[in-house]
Amino acid sequence: MRFSILPAFILLLPLAEIAGFVVVGRALGLALTLALVMLSFVAGMMLLRRQGIGILRRMSSEGRNGLMPGRELLRPAMNVIAALLLIIPGFLSDLIAILILIPPVRDFVWRAIARRFVVVNAKGGYSPGPQPDVRDRNPNSKVVDLDEEDYHREPKPNSPWSGRHLGD
């Protein structure tokens, strides 16, 4: 069985957040701890409102046009992620959000992510990394073009979905 770090992170994050509340609550007291949680929530809401949902729409639009979201979209997208992390109550998520807002950390994340992008261009073929603009696609198209080797179907003769057993 394959172990993935994401489910473990999702399961352990609430426990780490509770531990953070206990540690900070003992050090600062209940009132100041709750004030810090509310302050981070308000900061997250203000940051999210400033960035707005427009950045997600712009990224989606560029993806439909066959463009890789560029570095100029990374900063607002990371700000949206940081805002969402600030809204989540807890000090560990706030610490991660603050790290995301630091420009050298953001640049490191860009370098790590940019290598993993593979952009398929309209002319066929693919190449890793950032691509030049491809403006000849329809931005409202919901068509995914697959070649024969990308997708093929092998019908199963005993499958009830094959349509052969409907008249039996």
pLDDT level of residue 115 (50, 70, 90 thresholds) = confident
Taking residues 161-167, what's their average pLDDT? Answer: 57
Q: What is the pTM of this model?
A: 0.58
In this predicted model, what pLDDT tens digit does every residue of 53-95 receive, in sequence order? 677 677 677 667 766 556 666 778 788 889 999 999 999 999 9
CA dihedral of 28, 30, 33, 34, whole degrees rounded to 10: -160
Give yes or no for a contact between 100 and 81, defined as CB atoms under 8 angstroms apart. yes
- Does residue 161 surpass a pLDDT of 80? no
- 116: which 2 tokens? 């993993």
Report pLDDT for 107: 82
Find out whether 113 and 126 touch, Cβ atoms under 8 Å.
Answer: no
CB 51 within 8 A of CB 82: no
**CB neighbour class for 58 (10 Å; exposed up to 12, middle 13-18, buried from 19):** middle
Count CA atoms closer than 13 A to 122's CA, side-chain side: 15
